[in-house]
Chains A and B, each alone.
Chain A
């Protein structure tokens, strides 16, 4: 049972545009929602994370929007640049340190391409 559903699987955006990736979760016990960025040959790198007590968090060009009632959260990348081309993963967990009883549950990933 996939507990975190991520869409789209792939996304092409023009340079300067807004990239939007969506995730939906099922487990209402989740209380930590990070986004990771992964380049080929590297491990995932934490981009930004949110907890359910806020509806939005912004760090630079990256914004997480969180809808607790709909059990959905999304990543917005403003002014997308070619260097943002990577695979993005949403994740969710409950409990301590973002690890929780079952670790991080990841979405399947979105392959983002920013065209110059």
Chain B
């Protein structure tokens, strides 16, 4: 059974640019969440999607956005990149019915 797939694995962007990260959940999982992981702040919740609808959102500025497609695949977008956006971005999927989340290996974003 394939796990959660995130692409790309590594990304280098320049300040002011925008970036789109992709996540393919485990087959049958309808819930997808995104987290930011940094050494200073740890793991922080960005947002969660279920059946193409954003259910929850963390405390991040509007530059961070996401969407989910009908096949449950999800993308997150960060506009006007700042140096502080450098982080490991993790996607996690779940059945959405009381089960836990399975994380992907993440996308390492470096903003220069």
Enumerate chain A interface residues (CB-CB to B < 8 A).
34, 36, 41-46, 49, 89, 91, 96-109
Q: Which 10 A-B pairs have the closest CB atoms?
A: A103-B45, A43-B103, A106-B43, A46-B100, A97-B96, A97-B94, A108-B42, A43-B105, A44-B103, A98-B100
The answer to whether A41 and B58 have CB atoms under 8 Å apart is: no
Q: Which A residues are in CB contact (< 8 Å) with B43?
A: 44, 89, 91, 104, 106, 109
A97 CB contact (under 8 Å) in B44, B45, B98: B98
Q: Which B residues are in CB contact (< 8 Å) with A103?
A: 33, 35, 45-48, 56, 58
Question: Looking across the interface, which residue of chain A has its beta carbon closest to that of B88?
Answer: A43
Enumerate chain B interface residues (CB-CB to A < 8 A).
4, 31, 33, 35, 42-48, 55-56, 58, 90, 92, 94-106
Question: Looking across the interface, which residue of chain B has its beta carbon closest to that of A108?
Answer: B42
The answer to whether A102 and B98 have CB atoms under 8 Å apart is: no
Q: Which B residues are in CB contact (< 8 Å) with A42?
A: 105
B101 CB contact (under 8 Å) in A46, A102, A107, A109: A46
- Tell me which of A42, A45, A98, A109 has the highest count of chain B C-beta atoms within 10 A of its own C-beta: A98
Closest chain A CB from B55 CB (angstroms): 8
A96 CB contact (under 8 Å) in B46, B90, B98: B98
B56 CB contact (under 8 Å) in A34, A41, A46, A100: A100
Given contacts A89-B42, A99-B33, A101-B56, 20 further A-B contacts (CB under 8 A): A43-B104, A43-B105, A45-B102, A46-B102, A96-B98, A97-B31, A97-B96, A97-B100, A98-B99, A99-B48, A102-B45, A102-B58, A103-B33, A103-B46, A103-B58, A104-B33, A104-B43, A106-B42, A109-B42, A109-B43
